[in-house]
Amino acid sequence: MQHERCGWAMNDSVEQVYHDNEWGVPSRDEQYLFEMLNLEGAQAGLSWRLILNKRAAYKEAFHQFDPDKCAMMTDEELEQIRETAEIVRNKLKIGGVRKNAIAFLKVQAEFGSFANYIWGYSDGVPIINHWTDMSQMPAKNELSERISKDLKKRGFIFVGPVIIYSYLQAIGMIDDHVVTCPYHTENRC
């Protein structure tokens, strides 16, 4: 069987690096979990390639996605980011980083870590799918709908079920690499 990378990551080097090194790889790193939550939200209505190409600017603008620092950002700082940073300049999405940071810190306080909270939905174990074709992959599922609903109740924004499904892929809670991809969990050496 020929092992070929997932189709969405075949034509762009930035997407390939992300696909090969991050997508579907389980992470419990708090800062990474916060970063991906916000980058997935920033992507709403846009392409993931665009967000990946602006990732360094997002990290610079938002204190490397340190949730403590992001929660303390002032309205003036957020407006400065909107006016000058090389990111998507949507005011609600920029303000959403601070709002999500505040909610993120509350979840950390309640569960000991955000990782404990989010990974609790899968009993700490990645969900490994076995798609033979990218067209089989859903945009959302029952799990992403349940998590989305709970995150919204906790004060997070830009966390709809489609965004959350992408987020679960990003943090490796769901492995949606096609079975022929060398980066599918069962093909990794």
Which residues are known to be catalytic?
A: 18, 40, 48
Using DSSP, state whether 127 is helix, strand or coil: strand
C-beta of residue 121 within 8 angstroms of C-beta of residue 97? no
* Phi/psi at 174 (5° precision): -120, 125
CA distance 127 to 142: 13
- Radius of gyration of the CA atoms of the chain, in A: 16
Token code pair at residue 92:
């609600």
Residue 175 forms beta bridges with which residues?
128
End-to-end Cα separation, the chain, in angstroms: 16
C-beta of residue 185 within 8 angstroms of C-beta of residue 24? yes
Non-local (6+) Cβ contacts of 111 within 8 A are 117, 120
